[in-house]
Structures are given as structure tokens and as C-alpha cells.
Amino acid sequence: MKKYLAVFFAVLMLASCFFTGCAEKKDPATTTGDGTGDGTTAPESEVVTEVSDDLPETSFKGREFRVLLQEQSKTDVYTEDHETSDPLHDAVFRRNNNVIDRFGIDLIVEYNEYSAVNAAISRSVKAGSNDYDLCFVHMVSGASLAQSNEVLPFELLPYVNLEKPWWDKDIRNGFSIRNNLMMVNGDISPVSFSITSCLYFNKKILTSLDLEFPYELVRSGEWTFDKFIEYTKDFTADGDGDGKISSDSTKDTFGLSSWYLDVPYSFYYAAGGMLVSKDQDDVPYYDPQLERDTAIYAKIYDAIITNNAYYETDSTAAKFPNVAKTFADGRAMFLDAKLATAEELRDMEDDFGILPVPKLKADQEYKSFVNGASSMVCVPASVPESNREFVSIIIEALASEAYRVVTPVLKETYLKRKMTRDADSADMIDYIVRNRVFDMAYVNMHDGVGSYVRDLLTKGSKDISSKLKSYERSAKKKVENIVKAFDKSLSK
């Protein structure tokens, strides 16, 4: 199904619009306050310093810019060609018109099922038909495109400047090989922001226990797993007196409510874990660090197993929503989830706040896991060299214009008033979405080595050494094969 959008394109409307990561951003070269020197990364201030996108002033005289999107993330694109009085929609509408008017283009969007997007790109590349200028692909399934010579390195797109604040700063770690970056992310795909990990906390529960809201702990860099464990210790309880603690009870309480396909990853990466490293030539290699990962896993184990968290391992339709419901019903102090989960909490009776996931040590930065269902931005290899200047200008313009036009409105009119319950939580989201991390092992091996914390927790096991050892040979081989496939694709 194709939708022809003559006057607009909104590659920037978050599914639940929950990402102050779209909040005001700063270029370290033009702003101050990008860190505190004590392991924290300061959030964006209320005053945004203008950052130029350094794009040329030119007109393409009605030239089409064609985009392929996943059907599942079509809420990234609004189809109304007029203002609606909704501040967020109208900001996107203005952004679209600004790009269209500035460069004299038409924007065309095609939707397809995420499972069919790769195939559509492959057909176009193999046929040399140059059907698309920009594609949004599934993070995990789309990663294979880089190994088959079907997408262009962003280094070949002259006007895309990944040093600008509207691009994820850690993106190279997960998607670059030999300094060839095939996929990017950032403000241009706010739907991906919606599935960034975070923690929710129940204000009523913390107040009743005379515990401070952790906002200042975050700002001072002291929001660590040790603090989180202190908060949740001994809180889980058999409230109905039936001799067992169950999420199905209406009275039993938990220090943490979590799901096995979220919390093992969000906690591991927040604590500084990473299973793949890069050498001096930007070549990845499998690099588990047993001492570091043992320390990380010990804290995760204490937070979930020792403190008797609600750790849901059933992914059926009946059980998965219960994780958020347990928190929404006021029976959990904390909830590990994604930013989009705030939509499910809008009718929650108790007030809640939002925090980044804690870190292992105070001198580290906060880090946020990005779920594998995230969209990634790529450019098909069928785009000829003669078109790359045009394509790169429009990609950079869409991202930078969102930074200027959409981001401030998102923070001021949507996040603070519709989904988050206070200004502090909106501030916390800056910490969350500006510190997203990407691990090549998770992207390419999330059902194997990338899931080892999940598998250990599910079994209640502490034997991290044996688990990592069991992966060593296959994981090394897998990473080597990825590099070989990548090198082969680049040599074509």
C-alpha cells in the first residue's frame, strides 16, 4: 500500500510519543552542561542552543523522496495534510513543511509488514530499480542487510553528520564494522525511543516508607543498583496471608515487577555490560569479561532473585500485561519496562515517576537498553552515487528539523502534561534517551549469547562462569562469520 504525501512526511511521531529523548538536545561544541564530572551525564537544559545542520541552500524542484516503513510503526507517519490543533501533530506538520519548502521536494511513503521490508529492499537492490531513498527496518532482522551488500555505509552519504546531537551517540558500537556504519538511529525514529528501557516508581509507596524520590540520586550520579536494592529489600510480602506470594493476588506486594524479555537486558546494559568489543580497526570480537560480568550479575541476582521480585517468565497474552497491571494496581514499588508502557499507566490511581535504570557504580554513565524490535534507519545500496547527495541532505534535514521543531513541543506539551506525572520525570527521560546503548552481540545473537542473563535468572542460577564458557566457541565463530560476510559484501 502506498501513500503519496505531497506536503508532508512525519518520520517522527512516536507510537506512544513517549520520548523526551526527543527532548531538547545539545551539541557539546555549542552548549554547556554535558556532564558533571562525577560519572553523570546532565540532561538537556530548558534553553536550547541552536545547532546548525550545515546543509546547503538548494531546491530540488519537486523531486520525490521515497520512504519504506514498517507497518507496525506506521504511527511514525501522520497522514493528515493539515493542522489538527494537537500541538504534537502540528509540530510534525510544521517540520514536514519546513523540509519540503526548504528543499522543494515531495515525500512518498510506502508501508509494509516488518517481515516483508527486508525482502522489498532486497528485490529493489537486486533489480537495480532504486525504489527507495530511506528505509526503516527491524533492528534484529534488518541487521542481515549489512552482511549482504544491500545497504550503503553512511560514510558514503556526505551530508549525514553523525556527530550532531540528533543521532544516537553509541550507534557505531552496535552497527559499524571496519568504520562502515550501515544503520543509524536517533530523533529521526522516535518510535524506537518508545521501546527504550526505564524504571517507573510508585510515589505513594515511597512516601509511605519515608523514602526519597530518586530524582536527586539520578542527578548526583548516585542512582546505583546498591541504592535500588536498598529500596526494594524486604518489601515483597504475602499481603493476603495465604502463605505464598503471587502476582495473581490482589494484596501481595513486590519491590519490582518485571518481564523476562525486558529486565535481564535493561539491567545488564545499564550496569555497563557488553559482550562484543572492537579492535583498533573497528573490527568486532567476542569479549565477555568474567570479572566485570560476575559483579554485574551479582547485583542483578540480588535485585530480582534475592529481593523476590515479580519476574514473569510467561509471555502469553494473559500473563504479559499482568506485569504492568501489578504496578498500576499499586502492588509494586518499581516497574521495569519501556517508555511506551506509560500509556498503559495513564489511568493508574497512584502517582508514578520515571527514572533511568540504575548503574553499577557512581562513576559510570547511565545507559539505556534498546529493545530489538526498534526500527533502524538505512539507505538501500540501489541508490546510485549520483543521488547520494540529495538523499543525505533530506535525511539530515528530517532529523535536524525534528530536533528544532518537534522536540521542544514533545517535551513541553506532551510528556509533561499527558503521560508523565511531573516535570522531574520529564527531566529524567533526557537521561534515558540520550544514553542509549547498542551491543552487536544482542543485535545478532539475542537468542543465544545475548540472552545469557535472562537464561540464568529464569533458572535462578548463579553459575555465570559456566554459562559464558558454554558460549565461547560458538559466539567467537558467529562474530567472525559476521565480519567475513560484511567484508565479502563490501568487496562486491
pLDDT digits (tens, 9 = 90+) for 193-239: 788 999 999 999 999 999 999 999 999 999 999 999 999 999 999 99
| Beta partners for residue 336, in sequence order | 199
The pLDDT value recorded for residue 490 is 76
The single-letter code of the amino acid at 457 is L
The domains found in the chain, sorted by start residue, are 2-194+373-419 (3.40.190.10), 197-369+436-490 (3.40.190.10)
d(CA 138, CA 72) in angstroms, rounded, equals 10
Which residue did the predictor score with more confidence, 41 or 360? 360
How much is the pLDDT for 411?
A: 63
What is the predicted pLDDT for the residue at 12?
Answer: 33
Query: Which pLDDT belongs to residue 390?
Result: 98
The pTM of the whole model exceeds 0.75: yes
396-434: pLDDT as tens digits: 999 998 888 877 776 665 565 566 667 788 788 889 988
Q: Mean of the per-residue pLDDT values for the chain?
A: 85
Model confidence at 80: pLDDT above 80: no
Of 51-65, 83-97, 190-204, 391-405, give the lowest mean pLDDT range.
83-97
Angle of the 388-401 helix axis to the 87-103 helix axis, nearest 10: 150
- Write out the three cell numbers for 402: 525534528
Q: Which residue has the higher pLDDT, 159 or 482?
A: 159
Looking at residue 436, its pLDDT comes to 94
Give residue 78's pLDDT: 63
Residue 98 in grid coordinates: 519546513
Higher pLDDT, 176 or 448: 176
Q: Which three cell numbers stand for residue 113?
A: 509488514
Q: Which amino acid is at 85?
A: S
Q: What's the rounded mean pLDDT across residues 260-264? A: 94
